[in-house]
Amino acid sequence: MIKKVKNYLSLVKFSHTIFAMPFALIGYFLALHQNRLPNGQVKAEFEWKLFLFVILCMIFARNAAMAFNRFIDREIDIKNPRTAIREIPAGLIKAKSALLFVIVNSLLFIATTYFINTLTFKLSPVALLIILGYSVTKKFTALCHLILGLGLSLAPIGAYLAVTGEFALLPILYSFVVLLWVSGFDIIYALQDLDFDKEEELKSFPVFFGKKGALNASILLHILTALVTLYAGYSGQFGLLYWIGSVIFISLLFFQHTLVKPNDLSKVNIAFFTTNGIASVIFAAFTIAELVIDIWF
């Protein structure tokens, strides 16, 4: 049983939750911070039940998206030496079981949104369409990296909607931060499969632009990420903690580009997972600390 659980956690790369989850938490606490009355009192108090629902939505949605991606790519993965060891091609999880896992998590995601508010429930099928749809885009468009970014970008705005039930500019800005940031580092990750993707006629920025062009595109996306991050801080009138977190976040974004060169991809995994994971957690920690201090102190 424990081994099976580990296989499913590996199937969905549960550790990669570290990318979007911190931004979902930013969206949640931003909602508490922004929805205050003129006298300074908050309209929405912290609720453990709602907080748990937000976390569960993130987990269920991501489980469904990752498992669906592995299900769709199973025949491609078995041909690629880098991915042949994944759970489905390696025979650790049956394709039908993975598809059932997708369906169960999708239903759990929709069911959880029902207990949050009407808007999130109505938008839940749209969210699923986006995050599941990414898995097929690499077969017909090099913009697949942006679709992946779009899927993860739903985290901050989704959490904000869970608390307020209405849209606002600031959480949308953080959604753009996630979209641009994730798209940029996914391009770096895709460099590993450049030759294989060409053989299989799959689409990606590295296939379309080549290694150097793809890395330049990634840098441009991260420059835009930095600009939106700074503008969000200005727009939200944040204090010192936010700016410290932003400087560290932006510095780590560009540090990863010193690790990967067109002729040296040996540090792609360090750039992809370690650097971006640390960047996300640090930025969220400083931003949430800023918000919490302003709300309660």
Q: What is the pLDDT of residue 16?
A: 83
Q: What is the pLDDT of residue 194?
A: 95
What number is the average pLDDT over the span 119-148?
96
The mean pLDDT of the chain is 93
Res 11 pLDDT > 60: yes
Q: What is the pLDDT of residue 2?
A: 80
Work out the burial of residue 258: count CB atoms within 10 Å of its CB; fewer than 13 is exposed, 13-18 middle, 19 or more buried: exposed
Could you tell me the domains of the chain?
2-296 (1.10.357.140)
* Residue 261 bridge partners (DSSP): 264
* 129 Cβ contact list (under 8 Å, min separation 6): none
Q: How sure is the predictor about 3, in pLDDT bands with cuts at 50, 70 and 90?
A: confident
Q: What is the pLDDT of residue 17?
A: 87
Q: 60, 128 in Cβ contact below 8 A?
A: no
Res 36 pLDDT > 70: no
| Amino acid making up residue 134 | Y
Q: How sure is the predictor about 196, in pLDDT bands with cuts at 50, 70 and 90?
A: very high
Which secondary structure element, helix H or strand E, spans residue 69, and what is its range? Answer: helix 48-72
Res 37 pLDDT > 70: no
Answer with the residue of higher pLDDT: 221 or 273: 221
Answer with the residue of higher pLDDT: 43 or 275: 275
Cα angle: 239, vertex 245, 247; to 5 degrees: 100
Question: Tens of pLDDT along 75-108?
Answer: 999 999 999 999 999 999 999 999 999 999 999 9
What share of the chain in percent tops pLDDT 70? 97
Res 296 pLDDT > 90: no
Long-range pairs for 87-95: beta carbons < 8 A, 24 or more residues apart: 87/7, 87/8, 87/10, 87/11, 88/11, 92/7, 93/7, 93/8, 93/11, 95/71
